[in-house]
């Protein structure tokens, strides 16, 4: 089975892998929407890199609005993980939850 692995730290999210098209679309939608919202609030709030194999989102600035967007993105990734039947695995280092081997 193909999997998307999401590694979360306090200020960085790394996403790698592929899954079924609907799952990939959901993760991409969550990611791009949240990044665009944060950049709309402050263009320099996050950095975003995507080389086709690995996506790195780094939080560069914090505010109530930016933190709410960041936290919502993480909650939505976790919701996607619950519904993905094993196609999404999250390693949330920030909350000390280790789910990946």
24: containing domain:
4-92
pTM of the model: 0.89
- Determine, yes or no, domain membership for 101: no
Query: Does residue 61 lie in a domain region?
Result: yes
pLDDT tens-digit map of 76-87: 999 999 999 999
Query: What are the φ/ψ torsions at residue 3 (nearest 5 degrees)?
Result: -140, 150
Q: Residue 98 — pLDDT band, cuts 50, 70, 90?
A: very low
Q: What are 40-43's contacts with CB under 8 Å, separation 24+?
A: 41/65, 41/66, 41/69, 42/66
User: What pLDDT, in 10s, does the model give residues 25-77?
Assistant: 999 999 999 999 999 999 999 999 999 899 999 999 999 999 999 999 999 99
Instruction: Tell me if 36 is assigned to some domain.
Output: yes
- Count the domains in the chain: 1
């Amino acid at each position: 089975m193909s999997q998307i692995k999401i590694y979360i730290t306090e200020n960085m999210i790394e996403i790698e892998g592929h899954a079924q098209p609907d799952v990939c679309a959901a993760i991409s939608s969550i990611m791009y929407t949240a990044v665009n919202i944060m950049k709309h609030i402050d263009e320099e709030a996050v950095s975003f890199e995507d080389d086709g194999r690995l996506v790195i989102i780094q939080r560069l600035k914090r505010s109530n609005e930016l933190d709410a967007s960041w936290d919502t993105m993480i909650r939505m990734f976790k919701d996607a993980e619950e519904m993905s039947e094993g196609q999404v695995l999250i390693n949330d280092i920030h909350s000390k939850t280790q789910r990946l081997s």
